[in-house]
A = this chain, B = another copy of it.
Amino acid sequence: MKNKDISFFFNPKSIAIVGASSVAGKLSHAIMNSLKDIGFQGDIYPVNPKYKTIDSMECHQSVSDIKEDVDLAILCIPASQVLGAMEDVARKKAKGAIIVSAGFKETGQEGAELEVRLKKITGETGIRIMGPNCLGVFDNIFKIDTFFVLRERVRRPQVGGLSILSQSGSFAGTIMDELSAEGLGVAKIVNYGNRVDVGETDCLEYLAEDKSTKVVGIYMESVDDGKRFIEAAKSCAQKKPVFAIKVGRHEAGMSAAKSHTGAIAGKYEIYSAAFKKAGIIEVKGYSEFLDACKVLSKQYPADGKRVLVVTDGGGMGASIADACNDFGLQVAEPSQEIKNTLASKLPPFCAVGNPIDLTGSVTDDDYVMAVKEAMAEYDAAIVMVLWGPPTLTDKLIGMLAGAAAELKKPVIICSPGGEYSRKRNRMFEEAGLPVFSSPEEAARAAAVLAKSSR
């Protein structure tokens, strides 16, 4: 019987690094550095028959050679040596292994056969396997980082409530780096690669119960166990927002002959329907995935799809209204009552509709007043700030963040432009408001929030 509990992947007390090396550039060396850099508190046991010591730590001949208990083994050895090493790891009664090594199913028939034998080991011994061909686990809470990608090229994000599950290693690394550049906080990122055993379903069951995880994003190429996945997702989505992307929607990487058959085209529809059934918010591209990361980890949920647009540039405001409509949102006019209130408080040349156009004579106060007065009739606001008017000051940033906190409704900032705007966009982000640099991105993010409403 396999161990159902996979928590030791996230908070192991001890880790054996199989194929450890002190040679810079080796994956195992990078992983040891990653563990050190994040501040892993448990014990690390280097394993490599070629060495007596590594970085002044004792180096073991094999995993079963280690005297103490081993929770987790990380394998960074050639594919051909993995089976032997896994038998050794199983003998040691380690709870699980992360097989970083590539050279399995992705390289052809021989590699696929190796995976069948790995599956057999996990079935017979109960040991859990993540990988092969994966980066493993980044856990910002329990301080474990098995990603071999170098910090100088792929930064690690700050601590936060977002957790990400990804079959693709390139996606996991890229989004990690992107999230850290965007200043977004992350709890865990998991990459399970070829997925002979542990996959999104096991991880989702774990994240559903994980208190540090407030939002879950999934990057899927395929699903491990459709029925179980829907159950796990349903149960997780009742507790926290879950969003997912299915890549390979068009099967474009396959040969032209295969690519346009009904059977394959239909495949995506099945995923889309399953996401819907499970209460998962479906996103359709890398950009929208990133939008979802931003809005869902920063914002109050929206109660519906009525969007208020407030701007100081009418022409650009019209673009937001267009984009909102494209994404199925409603940009309805405010009631006459609210129009009257706004008209009484704003200069006569402002347009009190939706968008509310505060024009180039706008002040900080106008923005905040307009959002506060009109918001009762809307589920979310997109506030487009064009910084041209010299009457606008940096105080507006804190004032809008304060208004959003008071209203307890999502307020999304859209602020396109160059250097001056981009600097202020970072200030908006620091004040906790999600910022988008184009009308389309802002509208798409508002649509993600609307989809997250119950």
Question: Which residues of B lie under 8 Å from residue A259 when comparing CB positions?
Answer: 314, 351, 353, 357
Q: List CB contacts (< 8 Å) of A245-267 with chain B.
A: 247-257, 259-261
Are B388 and A170 in touch, CB under 8 angstroms? yes
Give how many A residues have a beta carbon under 8 Å from the other chain's beta carbons: 90
Q: Is A343 an interface residue (CB 8 A)?
A: no
Interface hits, A197-216 → B, CB 8 Å = none
Query: Which of the residues B255, B288, B331, B351 comes within 8 Å of A252, measured between beta carbons?
Result: B331
Q: Known contacts being A248-B322, A321-B253, is A153 close to B420, with CB within 8 Å? A: yes
Residues on B with C-beta less than 8 A from A254 are: 318, 353
Docked-complex contact B257 and A315, CB < 8 angstroms: yes
Is B318's CB under 8 angstroms from A386's CB? no
Is there an interface contact between B168 and A418, defined as CB atoms closer than 8 Å? no
Complex Cα distance, B290 from A260, in Å, reads 32
- Across the interface, A247 reaches (CB within 8 A) one of B177, B319, B331, namely B319
Q: Does A301 contact B (CB under 8 A)?
A: no
A132 at the interface (CB under 8 A from B): no
Contacts of A388 in B (CB 8 A): 149-150, 153-154, 170, 173-174
A416 and B287 CA atoms in complex are apart in Å by: 10
Task: Kindly provide the distance from the CB of A283 to the nearest chain B CB, expressed in whole angstroms.
Answer: 11
Q: Does A440 contact B (CB under 8 A)?
A: yes
> How many monomers of this chain does the complex have?
2
Give the segment of A8-16, A64-72, A99-107 that binds chain B: A99-107
**A406 CB-CB contact with B under 8 Å:** no
A171 contacts chain B at the CB level, 8 A cutoff:
yes
Q: Kindly report which residue of chain B lies nearest to residue A150, judged by CB atoms.
A: B390
State whether A252 and B438 are in contact (beta carbons under 8 Å apart), knowing that A106-B349, A315-B221, A349-B107 are contacts in the complex. no
Interface residue from B182, B286, B421, B441 paired with A316 (Cβ < 8 Å): B286
Q: Could you tell me the distance in whole angstroms from the C-beta of A348 to the nearest C-beta in chain B?
A: 7
Q: Is the CB of B257 within 8 A of A177?
A: no
B416 touches A285 (CB 8 A): no
Closest B residue to A168 by beta carbon equals: B315
Asked if residues B167 and A420 are in contact (CB atoms below 8 Å), the reply is no
- Asked if A396 lies at the interface with its beta carbon under 8 angstroms from chain B, I say no
Tell me if A417 and B286 are in contact (CB < 8 A): no
Using Cβ atoms and an 8 Å threshold, which residues of chain B touch A326?
A: 249-250, 284-285
A219 an interface residue at 8 Å Cβ cutoff?
A: yes
CA distance A285 to B171 in the complex (A): 27
| Nearest opposing residue in chain B for A317, CB measure | B256
> Can you name 16 A-B residue pairings with CB atoms under 8 Å?
A170-B314, A171-B313, A171-B316, A178-B418, A179-B418, A247-B322, A248-B318, A248-B322, A252-B324, A252-B332, A253-B317, A253-B319, A256-B314, A256-B321, A285-B322, A287-B440
Measured CB to CB, the residues of A under 8 A from B are: 25, 102-103, 106-107, 149-150, 152-155, 166-171, 173-174, 177-182, 219, 221, 247-257, 259-261, 284-288, 290, 309, 311-319, 321-326, 331-333, 348-349, 351, 353-355, 357, 359-360, 386-388, 390, 416-422, 438-441
